[in-house]
Amino acid sequence: MTIPSTLTSQQTRLLARQNTITNTAGYSPGTLQANLLILPHKYSEDFHNLCLRNPVACPLLGISSAPGNPHQITPSRCIQSPDFDLRTDCPRYRVYKHGKCVEANKRDLLDVWPYPFTPQKQLQQQQEEEAGNKDGEQYTAFLIGCSFSFESALHDANLTPRHHLTSTIVAMYRTTIPLLPAGIFTNGTCIVSMRPYREEDIERVREITRPYLATHGEPVDWGWDAVKRLGIRDIEDPDFGERQDFEPGEVPVFWACGVTPQMAIEAAGEKIEGLVFAHEPGHMLVTDWRVEDLERLKGGVGCF
């Protein structure tokens, strides 16, 4: 039987590639997990600026170093295995078109992002280039920090997140918190993840998660009044993930969430030509970054 807490990051990625795991909470503790957003290269500058302007919701852990190539990530320390493939190494994916999710729980992206190109796709790209679309089938990927990364530290402090205990997917909610815009990405709002805790434990929870700035850091809000402040529609009905039960004395504690870029894609809508790919919420890409890298990651991935 596979024990998630004993797996290396590469072992977890291989299980994801083989489609034998889904929810990655609790896998490969001590490593940093990432959200994934892949979009046509011509929009990459705007999206990069969106991340830089919204570092709490969209902290960057890596960017694909060669547009169109699914095997290379910069900085190289982010993913070190030579057989890495962005199209297979998340457990599940989503596909967006014109801001709408057109396919969910997709096992891989091999059919929609061929590489190297088949002769048919090569011809299609040449035709697109002749028509003025110089990017053709080129995509750029962004790896964005995930709060799963600090959950092993919470577990070690006897503050194990509820969804670990119930083997469910963390609850995630749309909010009315606006993103600072960049280029075509306007009118986006933030997503938050939620974990129940007793009020007397919140300061300790904040202290433990605060150093994880590269994976959202400490909570953005907490308590029952926070539900209204954040503009959450219904705490009992998450927009992503699964409902979490509250025990007596517990209140909701909210963190910024890396599903936020998918909301930016939704808001951009028809402005985006071509397909956009993302991870299925809760089904993360496990990187080779480690907790020991957090201090340098405070300065951004350019520090490596």
Which sequence spans correspond to the domains of the chain?
Answer: 4-145+265-303, 151-260
Neighbours of 168 (CB within 10 A): 17
Compute the mean pLDDT over every residue in the chain, rounded to the nearest whole number.
94
Give domain 4-145+265-303's CATH superfamily.
PSTPO5379-like (3.40.1640.10)
pTM of the full predicted structure?
Answer: 0.92
Neighbours of 15 (CB within 10 A): 20
| β 189-198/250-257 pair status | antiparallel
For tokens 């807490």, name the residue: 5
* Chain Cα centroid distance, residue 142: 9
Q: What is the pLDDT of residue 137?
A: 62
| Poorest-pLDDT segment among 1-10, 99-108, 242-251 | 1-10
Q: How far lies 130's CA from each of 127, 136, 140, in Å?
A: 5, 10, 21
DSSP 195-214: EEEEGGGHHHHHHHHTT-GG
- Asked whether the domain spanning 151-260 has the same topology as the one spanning 4-145+265-303, the reply is no
For tokens 């075509």, name the residue: 184
Q: What is the pLDDT of residue 135?
A: 43
Q: Are 88 and 108 in contact (CB under 8 A)?
A: yes
| Poorest-pLDDT segment among 49-58, 130-139, 195-204, 260-269 | 130-139
Neighbours of 224 (CB within 10 A): 10
Q: How far lies 281's CA from each of 85, 105, 108, 170, 263, in Å?
A: 19, 9, 15, 9, 12
Give the pLDDT band (50/70/90) at residue 2: confident
Give the pLDDT band (50/70/90) at residue 1: low
| Higher per-residue pLDDT: 132 or 36 | 36
- Residue closest to 3 by CA, chosen among 26, 31, 22: 26
The percent of residues in the chain predicted with pLDDT above 90, rounded, is 89
Give 66-104 pLDDT, tens digit per residue: 999 999 999 999 999 999 999 999 999 999 999 999 999
Please say if the pLDDT value at position 252 is more than 60. Answer: yes
Segment 183-211 mean pLDDT = 98
Interatomic CA distance for residues 11 and 29, integer angstroms: 12
Give 128-174 pLDDT, tens digit per residue: 555 554 445 699 999 999 999 999 999 999 999 999 999 999 999 99
Q: What is the pLDDT of residue 143?
A: 98
CATH class of 151-260: alpha beta
* Chain Cα centroid distance, residue 201: 27
Give the pLDDT band (50/70/90) at residue 117: low
CA dihedral over 44, 47, 52, 53, signed as positive or negative: positive
Q: What is the pLDDT of residue 115?
A: 87
Q: Are 289 and 297 in contact (CB under 8 A)?
A: yes
| Poorest-pLDDT segment among 2-6, 164-168, 265-269 | 2-6
Amino acid identity of residue 137, one-letter, is: E
Q: What is the pLDDT of residue 206?
A: 98
Cis peptide before 116 (omega within 30 of 0): yes
